[in-house]
Amino acid sequence: MSSAYSSTLTLAAGAVLICAVVVLWVTSTRSMLIVVATQGTALGCVAMTLGVHVGDAGLIATAAVELAVKGLAIPVLIDRAAGGALDRERRPLVNVPASLVASAALIVLAFTAARGVATFVGATSGALVPVGVATLLVGFLVLVSRRRPIFQMVGLLLVDNGIALVAFLCTAGVPFLIEVGVSLDVLLAVVVLMVLAQRLRSEFGDLDLDELRELHD
Amino acid sequence: MTADLLIAAALVGLLAAAAGAVAPERLRAEVVSVLTVVASGCGLAVALGVLRSGRAAVVHTGRLLPLGGLSLRLDRFGALFVAVSAVVAISAMIFRLGYESHALSSRTASCVLPLFVTALILVPAAASVTTFLFVWELMAITSLLLVLVDHRRRSEVAAAAQWYAVMTQFGAAALLVALVLLATHADSQSFIAIAARSAGVPAWVRSTAFALAVVGFGSKAGMVPLHVWLPRAHPEAPGPVSALMSAAMVNLGIYGIIRVGDGLLGGGPAWWWLLLMGLGALSALFGALHAATSTDLKRLLAYSTTDNMGLVLLGIGASGLFASTGHPSLALVALVAALLHVVFHAVFKGSLFLSAGSIQQASGTRDLDRLGGLLQRMPVTGSLFLVGSAAIAALPPLCGFVSEWLLLQALLHGLPSSDLALAIALPVGVAVLALTGGLTALTFVKAAGIGLLGQPRRAQAVETREVRRSMWAGAGILATLCLVFGVAPFLILPAVLDAARTVTASHVLDPLVRGWHVGLAGAPGALAPGLLGLGLLASVVLTAGIRRALQRAAVRRTEAWGCGRELQTARMQYTATSFGEPLTRVFEDVLSPAHDLDVSHVAESRYYVEAATFHTSLEDAFERHGYRHAASALGWWGRLARRVPNGSVHRYLAFGLVALVVVLVVLG
């Protein structure tokens, strides 16, 4: 029983991190959205596993909300924002091989830095805390290194997923209201960014975010 | 009882500020002045009560300020400074009643002026780090606003205020670090706890805190090389404000250095005090030299403030040096001399600045080269200015003489010393004191002689009239105190001695002979200012009598110093520039004067000169060699830093990632 719990948890958490790295690897919007949906589902599975293991109805409900919002709603919304266009990240600020190497370095850093937290929390869930930190750092790397607005949204989503993962693992049950609130915040941010991206496209044609630097003073 | 009065002083000050904000323009000056006089009166009453009884006035509330609330504790040492500030404020506010300044009557200025006075009274009472920094900043910001009052009419005002703003914020930053450093190591922010635990603090922390305190408080006291704001801001402020700044605010810089050096840290190694003596000597000489060559009346007074604060720092440094080399009795004498000079400087400089304000208002200029003959036209203000000049030039029987004499005595009696530091520092100190005294005398011979005597140097000056009664009354209070303290120093010496004992926690028995004569116990030499005054009076009476007796003979009346000429025009007189010219020549390397001679010839022949104009200007050496370079380096750094945020979203996000990674690396 216990070993099934720990292997499910490890599998799901690992999937969250792997999805984050894959986002760095892919360049087409469509395949990236599939990865993001997978990651949201994996995060929901982590919460669900924890909820079933602890037997907490609130946590199970949270997991359901996670699955619905991050596994389904947000990827669909981002897909809409893309407008069905099959556009690609043609020239990222840091190219794919370099960003994969950088992500490896960030993951090593996350594991060394979060060691203290891991031993503090203990047990299976504690050992997985560095995975959440690593996801967060990789998400940040996506934010920094990709030009397209869609990828920026996804980067933000990865950061949030990383934080959510750490929160689930550390506290074994974030209060339902808080988790729902955070998920809805992210949903709102995605909607705002989506509107912004559409306005950008209608205003400037097909521009990279990097070329918007006139307003800084 | 005293604590209640302290609260009353603060509340009446706030009430005056509120009244200044709401009162109709017609009544504003009167309401604000009267209420501020009441607030200062309460402050004076607390200070005198504390000085008399020795029991500190304590006010503590857990609220009103973040991090531990408002905490006031006025001991004898602080009370001395409160008393000085209150007396100067009362005089300045009486002066304010008659002072015609549209800008100073504005709503903002009327609201800020009482706040400034309240802050001046509360700074020496602050007893915790947060309270101190709060009232200190209140004082800095209100004084900055008051300097800015006239900025619409004259463009120099804004530049002066900018200098002041930069220097005061720089000083405040240094103070913040110094006090927080001490508070962290003492594990409490109350001054009493810091003083009790500072002996266990590591030496480098103590030294850093002291050095930063000297920088922070020194910039407020006009210490060279942090003095640059003072000769700009003090002259540009309106009359009563410049008196408050030069006679009360600079004192608080001195207060801070003594409070931190002797009070919180309880003394330190010899090099601290040698450093302080060096800075003091530099300030005294540099200030005196610039004052002697200035031609702007208020700028001259401002430089002379730097000079006098330099002498005070010299005294404090000597006191610390004596204490660290095992001469507690001399240490106390030197500290008393320094504090006495602070008090007396406030009295005569306040009177001089108020008189200068009157002169500026009556004649419309403060350029000495365009004044002249004011003693005939403004007899009362002129006489008050003369009294102040005589006091600052240390002429007996006025107060400046007593404090400088005592300082000289303290330095001289330390002389036969086996300690190397003392053996070198003291003779240098004596020489600086002597040279400064000479330069100060020259300065005020110039200020009084050129400005008050002779003939008016321009047409408007002929019509100058005496100012309103309340204006000369304000200056008159302080000028009277010059005379009273000069003749009877025993009225104030015990209070100063108690103040010095309180802050140093010294148990030395009375090191001074006090009474109608003053002197060091067990040392030759004593001074009887009263007798001296009496002798002076007798000699004046005698001279007048002899003169009258001789006048019976036939007398031919002609211009004095006219070489027998019948016609004496204003242009034949010395000007302030020409009077200071020999000195400018001697100290050319320090003063670096810039001359500009422009001669135009008659068209027919080059042998005939049609007109010649001559301009000369002196630059502050520290400003030219130090501050300009510092400012351009800062500008370069700023331009470089502006290139970093270039507007790219990715770059800003990268800052976030890098910061996060650094934090993880450091903490992980």
Which of B653, B654, B668 is the closest to A113 by Cβ? B668
Phi, psi of B353 (to 5 degrees): -70, -35
CB contact at 8 A, B486 and B529: yes
Taking the CA of residue B634 and the nearest CA in chain A, the distance in Å comes to 20
Chain B nearest-CA residue for A215: B647
Domain containing A16 equals 2-210
**Three-state DSSP class for B557?**
coil
In this predicted structure, what is the pLDDT of residue A1?
Answer: 47
**Three-state DSSP class for A49?**
helix
| Alpha-carbon distances, residue B116 vs B119, B255, B486 (angstroms) | 5, 17, 29
Chain B positions touching A147 (Cβ under 8 A) are 650
Taking the CA of residue B638 and the nearest CA in chain A, the distance in Å comes to 15
In this predicted structure, what is the pLDDT of residue A215?
Answer: 52
**Mutation test of the interface with chain B: which of A144, A153, A154, A158, choosing the one with the most B Cβ atoms within 10 A?**
A144
Listed by number, the residues of chain B in 634-663 with a beta carbon closer than 8 Å to a beta carbon of chain A are 645-650, 653-654, 656-657, 660-661
Q: Do A213 and B654 touch (CB under 8 A)?
A: no
Cis peptide before B225 (omega within 30 of 0): yes
- pLDDT tens-place string over residues B447-477: 999 888 888 887 776 778 888 888 999 999 9
A215 part of a folded domain? no
Which of A93, A110, A214 is the closest to B647 by Cβ? A214
In this predicted structure, what is the pLDDT of residue A154?
Answer: 86
A174 part of a folded domain? yes
Distance of alpha carbon B169 from the chain centroid = 18
Buried b (16+ CB within 10 A) or exposed e, B380-390: bbbbbbbbbbb
Q: Do B664 and A147 touch (CB under 8 A)?
A: no
Distance CA(B410)–CA(B336), nearest Å, equals 10
Distance CA(B435)–CA(B341), nearest Å, equals 17
Distance CA(A149)–CA(B41), nearest Å, equals 68
Chain B positions touching A115 (Cβ under 8 A) are 668
Which of A93, A140, A212 is the closest to B657 by Cβ? A140
Q: In what order do the strands lie in the sheet with B518-520?
A: B512-513, B518-520, B526-527
Residues 6+ apart with CB under 8 A from A182: A160, A164
A216 part of a folded domain? no
Q: How confident is the model at residue A206 (pLDDT cuts 50, 70, 90)?
A: low
DSSP conformation letters of B99-167: ---TGGGSHHHHHHHHHHHHHHHHGGGB-BHHHHHHHHHHHHHHHHHHHGGGTTT-HHHHHHHHHHHHH
Chain B positions touching A141 (Cβ under 8 A) are 657
Residues 6+ apart with CB under 8 A from A40: A66, A67, A69, A70, A71, A72, A74, A75, A161
Distance of alpha carbon A65 from the chain centroid = 15
* Beta-bridge partners for B518: B527
Chain A nearest-CA residue for B663: A113
Two structure tokens written together for B8: 């009353």
In this predicted structure, what is the pLDDT of residue B649?
Answer: 76
- pLDDT tens-place string over residues A63-97: 888 888 888 888 888 887 766 555 677 778 888 88
Taking the CA of residue B643 and the nearest CA in chain A, the distance in Å comes to 12
ipTM over 0.90: no
- Nearest CA to B367 among B304, B305, B300, B307? B300
Distance CA(B381)–CA(B452), nearest Å, equals 10
A7: left (phi over 0), alpha (psi -120 to 50) or beta: alpha
Distance CA(B413)–CA(B420), nearest Å, equals 15
Distance CA(B354)–CA(A78), nearest Å, equals 74
In this predicted structure, what is the pLDDT of residue B393?
Answer: 93
- Please state whether beta strands B594-601 and B526-527 pair in parallel, antiparallel, or not at all (unpaired): unpaired
Q: Do A215 and B647 touch (CB under 8 A)?
A: yes
- Please state whether beta strands B512-513 and B594-601 pair in parallel, antiparallel, or not at all (unpaired): unpaired
A141 part of a folded domain? yes
Chain A positions touching B657 (Cβ under 8 A) are 137, 140-141, 143-144
Q: What is the CA radius of gyration of chain B?
A: 26
Q: How many domains does chain A have?
A: 1
Q: Do B668 and A212 touch (CB under 8 A)?
A: no
Q: Could you list the mean pLDDT of each consecutive 10-residue stretch along chain B, which spans 668 residues?
A: 88 94 89 94 94 89 77 93 96 92 86 95 94 95 92 87 93 95 91 90 93 96 92 91 95 95 90 95 94 92 95 95 88 93 96 94 87 88 94 89 90 76 87 94 92 81 81 93 90 90 81 74 75 88 89 68 68 83 85 84 84 83 86 92 80 88 84
For the segment A163-178, the average pLDDT, to the nearest whole number, is 75
Q: How confident is the model at residue A194 (pLDDT cuts 50, 70, 90)?
A: confident
A77 part of a folded domain? yes
Distance CA(B108)–CA(A144), nearest Å, equals 49
SS (H, E, C) B483-526: HHHHHCHHHCHHHHHHHHHHHHCCCCCCCEECCCCEEECCCCCE
In this predicted structure, what is the pLDDT of residue B556?
Answer: 67
Two structure tokens written together for B528: 């009887």
Q: Do A144 and B650 touch (CB under 8 A)?
A: yes
A217 part of a folded domain? no
Q: Do A114 and B668 touch (CB under 8 A)?
A: yes
Chain A positions touching B647 (Cβ under 8 A) are 212-217
